[in-house]
Homo-oligomer: A and B are copies of this chain.
Amino acid sequence: MSMDKIVEVNMGDFNCTVEPGVTHETLNQHLHTTGLWFPGDLGADASICGMAATNASGSNSARYGTMAQNVLNLEVVLSNGNVMYTAGKDRRPRKSAAGYNLTKLFVGSKGTLGVITQTAVRLYARPAVCSVAVCPFRTVDKAIEAVVATLQCSVPIAKIEFLDAATVAACNRYSKLTLVESPTLFLEFHGNSEAEVAEQASLVEEIFASNDGREFNWCHAPEEQKKIWSSLHSVYYAILSEKNNVKGFTIHFSLPTSALAKAVSETRKDIDESGIFGALVGHVGDGSFHCIFLVDDSNQDEMKMIRELSDRIVKRTLASGGSCTDEHGIGISKRKYLENEYGEVAVNTMIAIKKALDPKGIMNPNELFTKN
C-alpha cells in the first residue's frame, strides 16, 4: 500500500484530506481545474503530512500562514496502536472550542507523539490576479528596513523573499538569470482584481523607494514568474555549485519584525568576518531566515569555526526575542537550544506530554529533547 491517495476534496468547504505520499505539487495539479489551491510552497516538493509533522511554512506564509494555521485535522497512529483524529473523525468546522487543540499540538511534533497517516488542510481560492516584482537594494540594511516598513503597513503580500548579493550572484550563474547582484527582495501580490493588486503594489513601491530601493522590475507573464520562483526554489543547489568538494550546512531562525534589520545586518557581518562562504536567504515576510554555509566537512578547523558561528547567530536570535528555528522542526543539532528558547518549565511540560502519550519512548526518540 503506497498511501498516496487524495482521500477527499470538499469544494464547498475549501479543504481536503491527503495521505502521506501526496506532495504539495501533486495536490495542486489535482486541484488545477477547481479554482482552489493549497498555498504551502516549499523549495522541495514535500509531502503535506511531512510538512504538518515539521510545521513547514514556505514562501506564501506571509499571507496564508504556516502549516500551524492551515492544518484542520490529522489522523494519527498513537504509540499504543490506536488511531486518533485530532479534531474528530470527518470533522471540518471553521472553528471549535470544545476540547484541547490536539491538532496544533501534533503539528510540528515531528512524529514524537504519533505517526501522521492523513492530513486535512485548508484550501484557498486561486488568486484571480498575480503579479511578481524584483527590487534590488544597495545594502542588506535598507532591504530589511523596507520589509519592516511594509509589514508594519499590513499590506497583504503573498511572498516577500530576500536574497543577499552572494546568493543573487549564485542564482544568476546556476539559473541563467541576469539580476543585479545586490541584496534583493522578490515579491508576489495576489488579488481578486487588477485594481486590488495595483493598489498593494503602488503602496509597496512607495515604501521601497523611501528606503533607497532601486528599480522595481515587474514580471507579468506566467512563464517569467515561474522562472523567478523556480530559481529561488533551487537556491540551495545554486549556492552549493559555487564551490567544489563542499557540503551545505544550513541553519534556520526567525525574529520579531522590529529586531530583523539589526540581527540580519550583524549576521551578515559575522559571516563576512569568519571567512566562511555563507549565503543569507529568507522568507522575510514572516521574519524568517536561512543561512547556508559551504564547508569542507573533512576539515576539523572549518567545522569548529562553523559550529561557533552558528552558535553565535542562534544565541543572538534568542537574545532578540526570536526562535532558534522557523520551520521544519528544531533539528538534532539545535536541540540544545530548546531550553534557552522555552525555559526549563516549558521543556519539562513538553517532556511530560511526550511521556503521557508515548510511555515507552518508541515514537521518533531523541528527536526533540536532550534529556528524559
- A residues neighboring B (CB under 8 Å): 10, 12-14, 54-57, 61, 66, 68-69, 78, 82-102, 104-105, 107-109, 113, 124-125, 148, 152-155, 192-193, 195-196, 199, 203, 254-258, 286-288, 321-330, 334, 337-338, 341-343, 345-347, 349-350, 352-357, 368
> In the complex, what distance in Å separates the CA atom of A49 from the CA atom of B319?
26
Residue of B nearest to A125 (CB): B154
Q: Indicate if the CB atoms of B88 and A66 lie closer than 8 Å.
A: no
Partner of A84 from B61, B92, B349, B354 at Cβ < 8 Å: B349
Partner of A89 from B10, B86, B323, B343 at Cβ < 8 Å: B343
Contacts of A324 in B (CB 8 A): 98
Partner of A86 from B10, B254, B346 at Cβ < 8 Å: B346
Q: Given known contacts A101-B104, A101-B107, A108-B101, is B256 in contact with A92 (CB within 8 Å)?
A: yes
Q: Indicate if the CB atoms of A82 and B286 lie closer than 8 Å.
A: no
> In the complex, what distance in Å separates the CA atom of A94 from the CA atom of B326?
9
> In the complex, what distance in Å separates the CA atom of A12 from the CA atom of B341?
21
Residue of B nearest to A105 (CB): B105
> In the complex, what distance in Å separates the CA atom of A100 from the CA atom of B111?
11
Contacts of A326 in B (CB 8 A): 93, 95-97
> In the complex, what distance in Å separates the CA atom of A357 from the CA atom of B124?
37
Residue of B nearest to A57 (CB): B95
Q: Given known contacts A12-B257, A94-B286, A148-B12, is B196 in contact with A368 (CB within 8 Å)?
A: no
Residue of B nearest to A324 (CB): B98
Residue of B nearest to A94 (CB): B287
Partner of A85 from B66, B108, B196, B342 at Cβ < 8 Å: B342
Partner of A352 from B56, B69, B199, B357 at Cβ < 8 Å: B357
